[in-house]
Amino acid sequence: MLLTDYPWYFVLICLMVGVVYAAVLYFVGRNPFAHGWRWVLAALRCLTVSAIAFLLLAPMSRQTVDERQKPHVVLAQDVSGSVRMGADSAFSLKTIVPELEERCRVSYVEFGSDGATDIGAALDRWRGDDVEALVLASDGLHNRGTNPTSVAERLPFAVHCVALGDTTPRRDAWLANLRCNRIAMAGASFPLELTVGASLLRGRVALLTIRDDEGRQLFSQQVNYTDDDFGVGVAATLPTATAQGGGLRRYTATLTSVDGELTVSNNSLSFYVDIIDSRRKVVLVANAPHPDLAALKRAVEDNPNYEASVVLAGDVECGKWKLESDVSLVVLHNLPSHSHPSVAYADGLPRIFVVGTQTDLARFNALHSGMEIVSRVQKTNEVTPVYRAAFALFTLDEGDVAALEALPPLTAPFGEARLTADVQTLFAARLGNIDTRQPLVAATAQGEHRRAWIWGEGLWRWRLADWQAHESHAHVDRLVNQLVSFTAIQTDRNRLQVEAERSYAEGEPVMLHAVLYNENYEAVNNAEVTLALSGDSVKADYTFRRDAGGYSLTLPPLAEGLYRYTASADGQTAEGTFAVEALNLEQQNLGADHSLLATLASLSGGGMYRPDDCAALTAELSTLKPTIYTHTRYAEFLRLPWVLALIILLLAAEWVLRKYHGEL
């Protein structure tokens, strides 16, 4: 069928153009051709000109075409660890590919090479494609992802299953289902649970031990296999006191083997725990003995992550006490004062100022800490706290706020506070029944080190009042700990920062991200960032790739173990560790599950086959019918080669007749 965007009468116009052109050429004026040949030549010229004129209308041809396509068959091969350890480890669906390709389009895929078997994903991957049948060669052991039966119910094609492996129970023991806290505090203990399973080992005895990365035994328990299908949960509490500092630590659970076991590779299970050595030191430096010091010390030590010590400023100045390098926070109580004007020993550390009646306000203002108190008279005020909801540096529970606002007043020096723009007020001061704008508790996160202020002394009265009202110091202690935790956090000023997960699964890519800052702490990526990686069996160097967000690096899949890295760029370095953990899912159960395969085949309308019955499978797949697709095809007449050939033929015929029957 011919189509054009112009009205039908344009075809008549094209024909009339050809008639007029031929008539003028052969019937107007003298003509050397005989009368009969003149009509023939005129007809040829009329057809040629009319055809060319018609092509100027850009006509289209529409055709209905039937296309036959071979049926699409997917061959999904399970290459997981349980299959490789089974009796049919040498079988592969690749052997039937050449025969199937004569009648079908074949796609061959493998799954389970990443240490786990996700049969549901292997099936669901092809649900939206033009697949006629899928052949699944597996032992039926599924240990990750969606239930395959729920996927098979929705599939529009048949699943034929080749049952690999052996369903006969094997003599074996294994460790599985390990659960523990992946983060633990240094010096504390953490709980652990795991499952000991065994098959056909009734009456045998094994020993379960757990050791740390230095080989020290932390736990042991005898396991008596009381049944041929044995399974028991074991709970343990492991100490972290033996760990040398913080960081990732490797622990290994081992089950002694018994003669005749199928494999001993599943008798050992390694796991990693991030030991947080966050017991930070807080030093309370005081102008003179004061009951606030004991109250603050007890409140700080209510958090097991902190330890507090009290020291007098005079002992610091005379050299009896020196500030240690591992101190995280200094609390300056009534300092600087007239008798102890210098607090230079606290430079370079986060600080909390408790401003009281003994504080020398002039020297305090000279520190330019972010708060200045202007006072012209030496007087004191009794002030109570009023919560400021606009405070955004950390949050307090509503119950804590209500309890704190009901506490007795603190004694604060008289004056007017001037705060820098970055200081936020947590509690304002209430003088009698008047709410003032003066801060009572304030903090800031700006600058190299964080700072906080308590404008008033008498915190010991707060703890006593809290106990009288609630039989607990919890409300006051939580406020103090919030201030301490917030202020003690050190801002990372390293201009090269690397982001990495604490652990990765074995077989998956390890992705790292890095950000490099210039001296103004603006993110840049104009320098090369390299990474030196070292582990149990790897020592290699890599280069980060530049991208819009900084730098990124994808390492190849790594073996199980603990890895350390050092990134370098522009004179900056960043160090860290991460762990690659073995899944061990494939070794927990080596007995094939053919019932699952039979269910998949039944739900989808497929069949069950053994590895030695591939001829029947191939014959079944050969009965698949090709798919016929009917579609409409449009083509421009101007692009059809036979149209050009026809015009050339008409012109050539006219030329030959003119050559031999008249003047050329």
- Residue 298 pLDDT exceeds 80: yes
CATH number of the domain encompassing residue 619: 3.40.50.410
- Residue 183 pLDDT exceeds 90: no
Residue 358 lies in a domain: yes
Residue 545 lies in a domain: yes
Beta carbons of 170 and 86 less than 8 angstroms apart: no
Cα separation, 217 vs 234, in Å, equals 16
Residues 601 and 483 in one domain: no
Residues 647 and 619 in one domain: no
pLDDT at site 245: 61
pLDDT at site 80: 78
- Residue 587 pLDDT exceeds 70: no
Each residue of 481-529: pLDDT tens digit?
A: 999 988 887 655 678 888 888 888 777 788 898 988 887 667 788 889 9
- Residue 475 pLDDT exceeds 90: yes
Residue 372 lies in a domain: yes
pLDDT at site 328: 86
CATH number of the domain encompassing residue 553: 2.60.40.1930
The one-letter amino acid at 437: R
Residue 36 is encoded by which pair of tokens? Answer: 């009969």
Residue 641 is encoded by which pair of tokens? Answer: 């080669």
CATH number of the domain encompassing residue 296: 3.40.50.880
Residues 460 and 529 in one domain: no
Residues 231 and 293 in one domain: no
Mean pLDDT rounded to a whole number for the chain: 85
> Where in the sequence is the domain holding 151, given as residue range(s)?
71-168+591-625
Residue 38 lies in a domain: yes
Beta carbons of 284 and 353 less than 8 angstroms apart: no
Cα separation, 110 vs 375, in Å, equals 79
Looking at 438, 468, 488, the residue that finishes a domain is 488
pLDDT at site 114: 66
Looking at 256, 276, 296, the residue that finishes a domain is 276
- Residue 62 pLDDT exceeds 80: no
Residue 234 lies in a domain: yes
Residues 525 and 596 in one domain: no
Beta carbons of 45 and 18 less than 8 angstroms apart: yes
Contacts 24+ apart (CB under 8 A), 29-35: 31/662, 32/662, 32/663, 33/658, 33/661, 33/662, 34/661, 34/662
Dihedral of the CA atoms 236, 242, 244, 248 (nearest 10)? -10
Cα separation, 474 vs 476, in Å, equals 6
Residues 296 and 371 in one domain: yes
Average pLDDT over residues 216-242: 87
Residue 586 lies in a domain: no
pLDDT at site 405: 93
Residues 79 and 37 in one domain: no
Number of domains in the chain: 5
Residues 101 and 37 in one domain: no
End-to-end CA distance of the chain: 38
Distances (CA, A) of 88 to 79, 493, 634: 11, 58, 53
**More confident of the two residues 464 and 489:** 464
Q: How many CB atoms lie within 10 A of CB 201?
A: 23
HEC per residue, 352-409: EEEECCCECHHHHHHCCCCEEEECCCCCEEEEEEEECCCCCCCCCCHHHHHHHHCCCC
Beta carbons of 248 and 578 less than 8 angstroms apart: yes
Looking at 244, 276, 308, the residue that finishes a domain is 276
User: Lowest mean pLDDT: which of 42-51, 451-460, 589-598?
Assistant: 589-598
Residue 108 lies in a domain: yes
pLDDT at site 664: 42
Residues 446 and 302 in one domain: yes
Average pLDDT over residues 143-166: 85
Residues 469 and 502 in one domain: no
pLDDT at site 349: 87
Each residue of 537-563: pLDDT tens digit?
A: 788 999 999 987 689 999 888 888 889
Residue 120 lies in a domain: yes
- Residue 345 pLDDT exceeds 50: yes
CATH number of the domain encompassing residue 240: 2.60.40.10
Q: What percent of the chain has pLDDT over 90?
A: 29
Residues 446 and 541 in one domain: no
- Residue 340 pLDDT exceeds 90: yes
Residues 502 and 419 in one domain: no
Average pLDDT over residues 230-257: 81
Residue 14 is encoded by which pair of tokens? Answer: 């094209």
Beta carbons of 357 and 457 less than 8 angstroms apart: yes
Distances (CA, A) of 639 to 11, 15, 644: 19, 21, 8
